[in-house]
Structure 1
């Protein structure tokens, strides 16, 4: 039996999945710690740091380490499409980080699980893409679970909830736009090359937003580093994890499949909920937990119907 398991799931695949889980959950917990427990309330600047290090690591990974072949931008039109995706991407990540100021990671993840619902809505609204009626039915428990969890969430914060929903919707909108805008053979970019071009653009978009919304954050961070140098290590760790989320996401798809990635993602959300509750000790009601479970069941059913009817 052990030999069969070894043959079925190679060790590189297991290590990639573990790394993906670690980086995904790690960046969430690190951001939550920075923004609330540590008191570093600058989510826009934090996101800009993420994009800055993603730009550097993407260049090193592709141009120096040759993790994947470099794909060049073919036209000005393609560059404009990438810029549009970068703006939506920025909005999604910033909103996600802002929401962590107000709601616990567990609730953030429950809301994030509704991504398939928003993806289906935007796919129909933008390109009139219809799913099987059974697929739409599976989205009902996804939404119902979040409604139940929201109604009984002890740490519920209306603004945090709205901004987290906005982040989830923007993430779904980006995936739909990406599939439409970069659909032709000459314009397709793998996720690592897309990040290589998107991260610097996102950084340029976030710089004026940071200066406008968070004022003297750079001076404040330098002064804070003089008192407590750990803040630099925290920012570097958070930003590094943000890059490795994208890298391991790509590697999991490479070693397995897009569908496996989706299934593993469902389980990741549940693991993140449990770990965040254990670490941050945020209160959660039994009804709220049932809401989370209902949402996860809905997402699993959605994945299964997509696999069957696509």
Structure 2
């Protein structure tokens, strides 16, 4: 019997939803990156720790609204003191990653920041080997050579290279990779697994607790300075509120895109997102670029793609 009459193409509405989610993820991800750069560099709001605390506060509040009220995902509670300690440890690493990334944006253009950030797979492989002594296939490690080589080339050709900003950017990338590896280890048992939205719900308030004293000590009078700025130009309040909300929607759309596609698709889309962010940032901020710098970034992206393919084959 022919089944031709029973065949139906993939749902158009389903594809539109997926495309809409990807577009939202791209917009929020690139938007928060560019707005961070604008605030910390162009606008002159030189308080990256306070800005990160605003992000984490928004993530705390909006995560609770999304899970407890809107029921985007079922709420998962912390089941033990040990699990809480593990989440707190992840939160500290997460804070280090975000703060370092924001600090680097004060000194480096977004295009170079994204080039360095593309080396995350290299640090992930290194930390996975150091912490778990888990070896990948030799081909997987070979693909990391262009990942690192590309950043070396890009650094040599970056007109706006600044050593401290570069160190902060590398630190942010390494911390992001470390958090990913630790998350897989610390929350690996069935009883402790949390989806990314619930993990953010529990991590964000802890991050605020850590960031508050750091802000008070390292960025003294930031609240009074912000209020003084607001009296002169109330746009700063809207910038901070919108920027903080975007920081949450990056995580929300990341989760939703993964749910509607796959982790591998998200990784591929992430590589493309980095390239889009580079182009958009150059057009907006008009930071100088060189052929050598763009060549380096291209080599890094090719290395990341090859690394992803090698990981896929070895699974």
Residue number in structure 2 paired with 1:228: 233
> How is 1:125-136 mapped onto 2 (pairs within 5 angstroms)?
125-136=130-141
Evaluate the alpha carbon distance shift between residue 57 and residue 8 of structure 1 in structure 2; reply closer, same or farther with a 3 A threshold.
closer
- The 2-side partners of 1:52 and 1:204 are apart by 10
- The 2-side partners of 1:61 and 1:242 are apart by 14
TM-score scaled by length of structure 2? 0.96
Residue number in structure 1 paired with 2:300: 295
Mean alpha-carbon deviation: is it higher for 128-137 or for 76-85?
128-137
Mean alpha-carbon deviation: is it higher for 179-188 or for 131-140?
131-140
Q: 1:170 aligns with which of 168, 175, 178?
A: 175
Evaluate the alpha carbon distance shift between residue 150 and residue 5 of structure 1 in structure 2; reply closer, same or farther with a 3 A threshold.
farther
Q: 2:271 aligns with which of 266, 278, 301?
A: 266
Q: 2:246 aligns with which of 241, 244, 266?
A: 241
- The 1-side partners of 2:9 and 2:98 are apart by 41
Residue number in structure 2 paired with 1:94: 99
- The 1-side partners of 2:109 and 2:88 are apart by 31
Residue number in structure 1 paired with 2:3: none
> How is 1:106-185 mapped onto 2 (pairs within 5 angstroms)?
106-185=111-190
Residue number in structure 1 paired with 2:210: 205
Residue number in structure 1 paired with 2:193: 188
1:75-105: CA deviation from partner (whole Å, max 9, x where unpaired): 0000000000000000000000000000000
**Per-residue deviation at 1:23?**
0.6
- The 2-side partners of 1:291 and 1:191 are apart by 32
Q: 1:35 aligns with which of 37, 40, 60?
A: 40
- The 1-side partners of 2:258 and 2:39 are apart by 30
- The 1-side partners of 2:14 and 2:163 are apart by 44
Q: Which blocks of at least 5 consecutive residues in structure 2 are unaligned?
A: 1-7
Q: 1:54 aligns with which of 56, 59, 67?
A: 59
- The 2-side partners of 1:192 and 1:8 are apart by 25
Runs of 4+ in 1 over 4 A off after TM superposition: 3-9
CA RMSD of aligned residues (A): 1.2
- The 1-side partners of 2:98 and 2:11 are apart by 37
- The 2-side partners of 1:135 and 1:210 are apart by 41
**Per-residue deviation at 1:308?**
0.9
TM-score scaled by length of structure 1? 0.98
Q: 2:310 aligns with which of 292, 305, 309?
A: 305
- The 2-side partners of 1:219 and 1:165 are apart by 32
Q: 1:20 aligns with which of 6, 25, 30?
A: 25
User: Computing the radius of gyration over CA atoms, which structure comes out larger, 1 or 2?
Assistant: 2
**Per-residue deviation at 1:8?**
10
Evaluate the alpha carbon distance shift between residue 108 and residue 64 of structure 1 in structure 2; reply closer, same or farther with a 3 A threshold.
same
Q: Secondary structure at the match of 1:184?
A: coil
Mean alpha-carbon deviation: is it higher for 142-151 or for 7-16?
7-16
1:248-300: CA deviation from partner (whole Å, max 9, x where unpaired): 01001100001111110011111111110110000010011000000000001
Q: 2:109 aligns with which of 104, 125, 138?
A: 104
Please state if 1:44 is matched with 2:42.
Answer: no
